[in-house]
Amino acid sequence: MHAMANAPADAKPPYYLPTANEVEVFSAAYKQKLPLMLKGPTGCGKTRFVEHMAHALGVPLITIACHEDITAADLVGRYLLTGGETVWVDGPLTRAVRQGAICYLDEIVEARADTTVVLHPLADHRRELNIERLGESLHAPDNFMLVVSYNPGYQSVLKDLKQSTRQRMVAIEMGYPLSDKEIEIVVQESGIDKARAADLVKLANAIRKLDASSLPEVSSTRTLVSTARLMKEGLTPRAAATAAMLLPLTDDSEITRGLGEIIATYLQN
């Protein structure tokens, strides 16, 4: 597991361009102490949005990258043996509650079901974290907020979030930004000019229109930004798009060839 604290409060706020009313919904949920879920495909800006909001609200951020082996103890804490002594070490969720932070569980559907049990009393009106091993129950301070994200496209493969958990939360649906905004994001994040960013966004939108059965995922805003960054280093648009947009998407040689043709259609060199 991987948990990080965010940058010091005086650092420059992470750049985030709102695409709908997500800033208002997040702020209202924070003020009303409601937990939040962000739904959206990979690379659409979920993590960046949470980083931006934590900074804007002036609240520390603790991010937990979930995976299938995460247990409740990983979140809450455990006794560790150090130099013949057992010492209790808070997990990232407990630290977030004690400290009054935004706790962001990234890709929560990949976490095991027993971890969501510990989230229930935190997510409802009790706002309580039960630390069974310590026989302690912590009441979350006002500036604690639980935020989870997941990719709804994976729901059929991975186990669903329990209804009882879902209905305790408010939700924001995120998708790839509309063209004008996505162009602006690519320019801002990479420093390439607007005309070349516009070509990349057109290409991405063409790939996004392909039959879903040929590709498990489509080109995300993230892969557009990576492509633009390679171009900033002097790679041709086609070479950059092949390296950062095409090849990461698929290992299938026929689909690779097809996507290569689309790249050649949309990018001049």
User: Where do contacts with ligand ADP occur on this chain (CB under 6 A)?
Assistant: 15-17, 19, 40, 42-48, 177, 185, 189, 221-222, 225
Least separation, in Å, of the C-beta of 195 and Mg ion?
Answer: 29
Q: Which is nearer to Mg ion, 47 or 190 (CB)?
A: 47
For the beta sheet containing 3-5, the strands, ordered from the edge strand earlier in sequence to the opposite edge, are 3-5, 61-65, 102-106, 145-150, 36-39, 170-173
Q: Which residue is nearest to ligand ADP (CB)?
A: 45
Residues 238 and 42: their CA atoms lie apart, in Å, by 23
161 binds, among ligand ADP, Mg ion, none (CB under 5 to 8 A by kind): none
Least separation, in Å, of the C-beta of 142 and ligand ADP?
Answer: 26
Least separation, in Å, of the C-beta of 263 and ligand ADP?
Answer: 20
DSSP for 106-137, written as a single string: ETGGGS-HHHHHHHHHHHSTT-EEEEGGGTEE
Contact status: 223 vs Mg ion (CB under 5 A): no
Residues 244 and 225: their CA atoms lie apart, in Å, by 9
Selection from 180, 186, 184 nearest residue 229 by Cα: 186
Least separation, in Å, of the C-beta of 102 and ligand ADP?
Answer: 15
Q: In a 10 Å sphere around its CB, with 0-12 CB exposed, 13-18 middle and 19+ buried, how is residue 204 labelled? A: buried
Residue 264 neighbours by CB under 8 Å, 6+ apart:
238
* Residues 60 and 54: beta-carbon distance below 8 Å: yes
Mapping DSSP to helix (H, G, I), strand (E, B) and coil, where does residue 229 land?
helix
Least separation, in Å, of the C-beta of 225 and ligand ADP?
Answer: 4
Least separation, in Å, of the C-beta of 41 and Mg ion?
Answer: 10
Q: How many residues bind Mg ion (CB under 5 A)?
A: 2
Q: Which is nearer to ligand ADP, 76 or 245 (CB)?
A: 245
Q: Which is nearer to Mg ion, 50 or 186 (CB)?
A: 50
By rule CB under 5 A, what string of x and - marks binding of each residue 31-50 to Mg ion?
Answer: ---------------xx---
Residues 74 and 78: their CA atoms lie apart, in Å, by 7
Residues that bind Mg ion in the complex, under the rule CB under 5 A:
46-47
